[in-house]
């Protein structure tokens, strides 16, 4: 199968061309013939014109590649190795939303053939591939194998998973905004329904991944490994956030504490902050959902989630306390928020906890201005019903630097002094600046 791909007799399809799917599709397309499928036709049109709708890749990524972008699912019939990289978010009750994954599986089931391979890359809970995705896919294969009965009737048969087609799971570990750990430079975990599947899938990925392949002993191990990577980060950040809240009460600078503790060789380097986005703040719920279904009630994971989700309210309350301590009425105050994306150096605003900070401040009747050099004002309006200002004004009572964008790194105290009125407050949520820079301001960090 791998050899066929090299000879371009067979094609690779990538289903779901977002932050994860598009870079994979383009990387494979440097070596193989690729079909890039997405249900969002507007996004497909942009990609046809060499534009990444997620704004992570520049136009050169679309050069010298053998790829056809499509929103027509029938085109999937031409491919033999299929990769599914659709979103796995949660609903308002923090329960996994498998609709995109199941819908993509159903779509592919209509076109998959005997001998094909299917690899899921979306982040899921252990068991999801074999128990939810593959059965859904198989359920849609009724037209894929026809046989003639002894009395001449045509009989439709479902494909047999693991026999008629092979499948596997290979989690994606890219880190948007990170120009160092890029797709090919991250060791890839690969798993499959049997040894042949693991070996063949590894060969295909091995062709583009220079960092190496780790063959997991089962699909469930690979699924669990991915989901705990982000769960571990979430809990460690939650601990830092809890420490930040404790030390704030004690009037101790958490950054200094972490710097001092970090001199010990085995002290882990994590920092407090807002935890948003579509991975760290979401993936742990996939694990806790499955754990609860199995009758186990997770303690640490969910309390970490609660702490991290509560940080926006903590920051807003702290701001209001400080304004009041200065004799200011929050209703008369104007606060500038710098940074709206869920993390630094990306344009992605999904599940940004900065939006929660804004809402909390507005609930105190504070006049909030938002600016971000990377976020799209239209998307912010659409996603959060919040307007971004075109140009920052002056006379702010406080500024919150919420996201450590590169553009903010070299701003000095005079920049902030000009923005603010007398006796103003600077919240440096990510601890971007040395505190000593701001002797003339009321400087605070988590
Ligand atoms: N973004 C990351 O940094 C990252 C990192 C590691 C893992 N992941 C995981 O990878 C998966 C994909 O995430 P993403 O950030 O690329 O999502 P995304 O929202 O950027 O993109 C998903 C794409 O899938 C398309 N899509 C949705 N339903 C579809 C369907 N039924 N058929 C075809 N296309 C469909 C959407 O139109 C969109 O273009 C998720 O499980 C996520 O948790 C993401």
128: annotated active-site residue: no
Contacts of 337 (CB under 8 A, 6+ apart): 354, 357, 358, 368, 369, 370, 371, 399, 400, 402
Three-state SS across 91-132? CCCCCEECHHHHHHHHHHHCCCCCCCEEEECCCCCCCHHHHH
> Is ligand 1 within 6 A of the CB of residue 182?
no
> Is ligand 1 within 6 A of the CB of residue 46?
no
pLDDT of residue 99: 98
> Is ligand 1 within 6 A of the CB of residue 40?
yes
Ligand 1 atom 25 nearest Cα: 16
User: Tens of pLDDT along 64-73?
Assistant: 999 999 999 9
User: Tens of pLDDT along 163-192?
Assistant: 999 999 999 999 888 888 889 999 999 999
10 Å CB burial of residue 439 (0-12, 13-18, 19+) is exposed
Ligand 1 atom 15 nearest Cα: 19
Hey, how many other C-beta atoms are within 10 angstroms of the C-beta on 380?
Answer: 22
pLDDT of residue 147: 76
> Is ligand 1 within 6 A of the CB of residue 23?
no
Strands 396-401, 334-338: pairing is: parallel
Ligand 1 atom 43 nearest Cα: 123
Helix (H, G, I), strand (E, B) or coil at 297: coil
pLDDT of residue 176: 80
Atom nearest to 278 CA in ligand 1: 43
Out of 13, 15, 17, 18, mutate this one to test ligand 1's pocket (max ligand atoms within 8 Å of CB): namely 18
For residue 439, how far is its CA from the centre of ligand 1 (angstroms)?
Answer: 45
Atom nearest to 53 CA in ligand 1: 39
> Is ligand 1 within 6 A of the CB of residue 18?
yes
For residue 391, how far is its CA from the centre of ligand 1 (angstroms)?
Answer: 33
Atom nearest to 101 CA in ligand 1: 31
Superfamily of chain region 234-444:
NAD(P)-binding Rossmann-like Domain (3.40.50.720)
Buried residues in 294-312 as b, exposed as e (16+ CB within 10 A): eeeebeebbebbebbbebb
For residue 318, how far is its CA from the centre of ligand 1 (angstroms)?
Answer: 36
User: Tens of pLDDT along 249-269?
Assistant: 999 999 999 999 999 999 999
What DSSP assignment string belongs to 173-232? ---TT-SSS-GGGS-EEEEESSHHHHHHHHHHHHTT-SS-EEE-SSHHHHHHHHHHHHHH
pLDDT of residue 178: 83
Locate tokens 């600077």: which residue? 426
Atom nearest to 173 CA in ligand 1: 6
Buried residues in 409-437 as b, exposed as e (16+ CB within 10 A): eeeebeebeebbeeebbbbbbbbebeeeb
- Give all strands (DSSP E) within 16-169, no chain letters: 34-37, 67-70, 79-84, 89-90, 96-97, 117-120, 145-148, 154-157, 166-169
For residue 413, how far is its CA from the centre of ligand 1 (angstroms)?
Answer: 40
**Residues forming a β-bridge with 15:** 37, 84
- Whole-structure pTM value: 0.93
pLDDT of residue 416: 94
pLDDT of residue 425: 95
Residues of the chain whose pLDDT is less than 50? none
CATH pick for 2-217 out of 2.60.40.10, 1.20.140.10, 3.20.20.80, 3.40.50.720:
3.40.50.720
CA–CA gap between residue 267 and residue 303 (Å, rounded): 22
> Is ligand 1 within 6 A of the CB of residue 375?
no
For residue 165, how far is its CA from the centre of ligand 1 (angstroms)?
Answer: 24
> Is ligand 1 within 6 A of the CB of residue 123?
yes
> Is ligand 1 within 6 A of the CB of residue 343?
no
> Is ligand 1 within 6 A of the CB of residue 174?
yes
pLDDT of residue 4: 86
* Residue intervals in the chain for CATH 3.40.50.720: 2-217, 234-444
> Is ligand 1 within 6 A of the CB of residue 10?
no
Atom nearest to 54 CA in ligand 1: 20
pLDDT of residue 154: 81
For residue 183, how far is its CA from the centre of ligand 1 (angstroms)?
Answer: 15
For residue 416, how far is its CA from the centre of ligand 1 (angstroms)?
Answer: 38
> Is ligand 1 within 6 A of the CB of residue 104?
yes
Out of 35, 85, 169, mutate this one to test ligand 1's pocket (max ligand atoms within 8 Å of CB): namely 85
For residue 98, how far is its CA from the centre of ligand 1 (angstroms)?
Answer: 12
């Amino acid at each position: 199968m791998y050899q066929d791909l090299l000879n371009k007799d067979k094609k690779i399809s990538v289903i779901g061309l977002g932050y994860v799917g598009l870079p994979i599709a383009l990387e494979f397309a440097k070596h193989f013939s690729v079909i890039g499928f997405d249900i969002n036709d507007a996004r497909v049109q942009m990609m046809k014109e060499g534009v990444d709708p997620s704004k992570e890749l520049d136009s050169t990524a679309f050069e010298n590649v053998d790829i056809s972008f499509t929103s027509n699912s029938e085109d999937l019939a031409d491919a033999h190795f299929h990769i599914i990289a659709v979103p796995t978010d949660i609903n308002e009750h923090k329960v996994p939303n498998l609709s995109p994954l199941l819908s993509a599986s159903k779509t592919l089931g209509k076109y998959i053939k005997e001998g094909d391979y299917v690899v899921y890359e979306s982040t899921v809970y252990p068991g999801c591939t074999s128990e939810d995705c593959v059965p859904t896919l198989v359920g849609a294969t009724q037209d894929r194998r026809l046989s003639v009965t002894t009395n001449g009737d045509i009989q439709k048969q479902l494909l047999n998973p693991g026999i008629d087609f092979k499948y596997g799971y290979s989690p994606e570990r890219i880190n948007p905004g990170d120009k160092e750990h890029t797709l090919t430079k991250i060791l890839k975990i690969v798993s499959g329904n049997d040894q042949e599947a693991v070996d063949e899938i590894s060969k295909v990925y091995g062709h583009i991944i220079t960092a190496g392949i780790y063959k997991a002993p089962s699909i469930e191990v690979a699924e669990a490994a991915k989901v705990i990577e982000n769960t571990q980060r979430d809990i460690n950040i939650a601990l830092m956030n809890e420490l930040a809240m404790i030390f704030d009460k004690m009037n101790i600078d958490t950054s200094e504490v972490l710097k001092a503790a970090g001199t010990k060789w085995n002290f882990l380097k994590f920092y407090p902050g807002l935890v948003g986005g579509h991975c760290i703040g979401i993936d742990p719920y996939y694990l806790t959902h499955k754990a609860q279904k199995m009758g186990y009630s997770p303690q640490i994971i969910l309390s970490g989630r609660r702490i991290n989700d509560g940080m926006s309210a903590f920051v807003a309350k702290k701001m209001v306390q400080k304004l009041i301590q200065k004799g200011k009425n929050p209703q008369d105050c104007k606060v500038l928020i710098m940074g709206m994306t869920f993390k630094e150096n990306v344009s992605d605003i999904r599940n940004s906890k900065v939006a929660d900070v804004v809402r909390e401040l507005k609930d105190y009747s504070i006049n909030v201005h938002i600016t971000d050099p990377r976020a799209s004002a239209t998307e912010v309006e659409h996603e959060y019903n919040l307007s971004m200002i075109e140009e920052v004004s002056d006379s702010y009572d406080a500024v919150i630097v919420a996201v450590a964008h590169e553009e903010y790194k070299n701003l000095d105290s005079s920049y902030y002094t000009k923005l603010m009125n007398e006796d103003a407050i600077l919240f440096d949520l990510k601890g971007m600046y040395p505190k000593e820079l701001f002797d003339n301001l009321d400087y605070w960090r988590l």
